[in-house]
Chain A
Amino acid sequence: MSQTPSMRPVKGRLSEVVENLVDGSSEGRSKRVVEGRAPWRLAWARLRRDRVSMVSLGFIVFLILVAIFAPALTALIGHGPNTEYTNTGLSLSGIPVGPGHSGFILGTDDQGRDVLSRVIYGSRISLEVGVGSTGIALLIGVTIGLVAGFYGGLVDNVLARFMDVLLSFPVLLFALAIVARFGPSLGLVLVVVATFSWPYIGRLVRGQVISLREREFVEASRALGSSDLRIMFVEIVPNLVALAVIYATLLIPINIVLEATLSYLGLGVQPPTASWGNMIAEAQNGDLFTIAWWFLVFPCVALVLTTLAFNLLGDGLRDALDPRQGRTQLAPAKRASKRAPTPAAIEALP
């Protein structure tokens, strides 16, 4: 061998290169083979076959579009989210107008505001907090989990304990106390939600990294002289993407609900800015919602549909990205038959 692979700039995972060395096949050919079974394309194909996931994905895309084009949509409807239409939106005795009446598609609330416009603007808050805080949580969680799992020892001990402590926090209570002391604002809610959600990701990533760092491809990379940073980010991180995608998708609805709960308790996004949580709280405050159910029910429906869509998509992603687990759940007998009986099982035979 005139040129060892380690001296060439290597594209792709080192483990594949090492496999090629063993097989003796050329790099070009192996690349084609790897492309042929690209795991992401396979996962996407599996996901596309899952009708529930695709409907959920469609709903989420629709929701994102609604949130982005909220000003245009409300202009189209002709009712601003915070304008009180006391003449057209309330009856003479001050009762909100029902769905479909006088141009209010979902009716009006107790102050004569258009419920549809407010639900549309509320989607912005939910998505901003849900996606934003999950993004921050992902960044912190993956970094800390990676460092803890990779280095082990004292570093791991300190970081893992720290995550344990954060996970024993009465989250909602503490979040409420912080928001109450510093004054509610969207930014603070986002930071608080992220602060308490990253340890979930951190713990998962740590566990995964602990098993990954013992694998052959990491050993190979180290033998080729890679630095710790290179091993972490080039070798290990790509193996964490699937896990991160699944749990981020499942964390988003949890964070959306946390924001809605804070807003519902009056310590999140403040009125008149519409968020689904504070719309529900405002509806509950008066007794009018018992006659005019729509301004309580529609924000609830929006909230539940959104969290449901993210949960369904998260489940679908888990099945698509981790097919082994999916098969275990669907056809347990098949999996068992492939495994050799354990000594205990043989002993148990009569």
Chain B
Amino acid sequence: MIRFVARRLVYLVIVLVIITFLTYVVFFLGNPKNLADRFAGRDAGPAAIRDATIRLGLNHGFWYQYWHYLTGLLHGSFGLDYQNQTPINSEIARAFPVTASLVFGAVILWLLIGIPIGIMSATHPRTLRDRAGTTFALTFLSMPNFVLGLMFLLVFYYYLTRAGLHWFPAAGYVAITQSPIQWAVHLILPWLTLALVQAAIYTRLIRSSVLEILGEDYIRTARAKGLSRRTILYKHAVRAALTPVITQLGVDIGTLLAGAFVTEHVFGLTGLGQLGLNAIFNSDLPVVAAVVVLAAAFIVVMNTVVDIVYGFLDPRVRLA
């Protein structure tokens, strides 16, 4: 167990080194000369550009800058951004609660939608209910996040507002500490957008998983013992069927915590995704690198957590 976690940690470090390195390569292969011009301010003279070059550390070579960044990371600091020379750590601290609120609300919602529909589909295969469930899943599965988000905005914000019903705000984020109700109201549409697309994936996952397990021998045994349908379904089948769901859930939370870029962009939420997106548009390399590092870390850490939890749920799985 300890060896397993240690190995995963080594793997995490390797992944982070590779990913930050590639981020730097991509940026420096682009056009580093422009960076100083860009951040020196409008109509900057040669002196101002020289100042900017030194301020941003661009006068040093590629390896020096990359090494400087890595040592900073080791000290737990993402450095200063190019734009305003503010510490990136505090920008991330501001953005993270937004993304976390978005993701955790959506997770609860998509499990509440996806799992019951999946079970219903699996227990009534080839009926109208099953067909309705699969149709639901495939429709939302084929719907890109931004399309669904824009449709929600169009219908629930613009059309309702024009009809005089100010139910949903269009954009923005209110901290939960400020007003829990406003927090939820502002996040309902983004939650739904994320959750419906994800719920579709879980519906399919649960459906095929429950169907497979209902064909197992031990289910027949349970039936032969005379257990009730409910007990068989919920105690034996669904519990076992949740294992793949947990794997998927870990991966999804990891990926989304790194920034639900599109949903945040559509609804103007200033989370990690939006932070990274703006940094990309502004060529703000340290911020982009910071978001990339966080994203990769979330993905790898969540994968490790899933592997550990999996071991508990399914004792046949041994952590090697």
Given A170-B255, A289-B154, A300-B151, answer yes or no on A348-B221 (Cβ-Cβ < 8 Å): yes
Closest Cβ of chain B: how far from A302's Cβ, in Å? 10
Number of interface residues of B (CB under 8 A): 61
A168 and B151 CA atoms in complex are apart in Å by: 31
Interface-side segment among B52-60, B212-220, B242-250, B305-313: B212-220
- On whether the beta carbons of A173 and B295 are closer than 8 Å, the reply is yes
Using an 8 Å CB-CB cutoff, how does the interface string of B213-236 with A read, 1 for contact, 0 for none?
A: 011111111101100000000000
A300 and B58 CA atoms in complex are apart in Å by: 43
A96 and B155 CA atoms in complex are apart in Å by: 19
A176 and B14 CA atoms in complex are apart in Å by: 23
CB-CB < 8 A to A342: which residues of B? 217
16 A-B pairs with C-beta separation under 8 A: A165-B15, A165-B18, A168-B296, A176-B277, A181-B29, A261-B146, A264-B262, A280-B146, A280-B150, A296-B150, A297-B154, A300-B151, A304-B142, A330-B125, A345-B217, A345-B221
For window 180-233 of B, CB contacts with A under 8 Å fall at: 208, 211-212, 214-222, 224-225
- On whether the beta carbons of A336 and B151 are closer than 8 Å, the reply is no
For window 145-200 of A, CB contacts with B under 8 Å fall at: 165, 168-170, 172-174, 176-178, 180-182
Question: Max chain A CB contacts within 10 Å: which of B214, B219, B277?
Answer: B277
Interface membership of A341, Cβ < 8 A:
yes
Interface-side segment among A72-80, A206-214, A229-237, A306-314: A306-314
If over half of A's interface residues share one DSSP class (helix, strand or loop), that class is named, otherwise mixed; here it is helix
Interface membership of A339, Cβ < 8 A:
yes
Other-chain residue from A177, A280, A311 in contact with B23 (beta carbon distance below 8 A): A177
Interface membership of B92, Cβ < 8 A:
no
A257 and B145 CA atoms in complex are apart in Å by: 9
Per CB-CB distance, the 6 closest pairs between chain A and chain B, nearest first, are A332-B215, A181-B30, A170-B295, A308-B142, A307-B142, A345-B217
Given A172-B261, A173-B295, A342-B217, answer yes or no on A290-B280 (Cβ-Cβ < 8 Å): no
Given A178-B26, A253-B142, answer yes or no on A333-B280 (Cβ-Cβ < 8 Å): no
Contacts from B to A (Cβ < 8 Å):
14-15, 18-19, 22-23, 26-27, 29-31, 125-126, 138-139, 141-147, 150-151, 154, 158, 162, 208, 211-212, 214-222, 224-225, 255, 258-259, 261-262, 265, 273, 276-277, 280-281, 283, 288, 291-292, 295-296, 299-300, 303
Contacts from A to B (Cβ < 8 Å):
165, 168-170, 172-174, 176-178, 180-182, 253, 257, 260-261, 264-267, 280, 284, 289-290, 293, 296-297, 300, 303-304, 307-308, 311-312, 315, 328-330, 332-333, 335-337, 339, 341-342, 344-345, 348-350
Please give me the residue from chain A that is nearest to B261 by CB atom.
A172
CB-CB < 8 A to B14: which residues of A? 165
- On whether the beta carbons of B141 and A303 are closer than 8 Å, the reply is no
A168 and B296 CA atoms in complex are apart in Å by: 6
If over half of B's interface residues share one DSSP class (helix, strand or loop), that class is named, otherwise mixed; here it is helix
A189 and B100 CA atoms in complex are apart in Å by: 30
Other-chain residue from A177, A261, A267, A280 in contact with B288 (beta carbon distance below 8 A): A177
Closest Cβ of chain A: how far from B306's Cβ, in Å? 13
Given A173-B259, A264-B146, A350-B225, answer yes or no on A293-B154 (Cβ-Cβ < 8 Å): yes
CB-CB < 8 A to A300: which residues of B? 147, 150-151
Given A181-B29, A261-B144, A344-B218, answer yes or no on A168-B299 (Cβ-Cβ < 8 Å): yes
Question: Max chain B CB contacts within 10 Å: which of A266, A300, A344?
Answer: A300
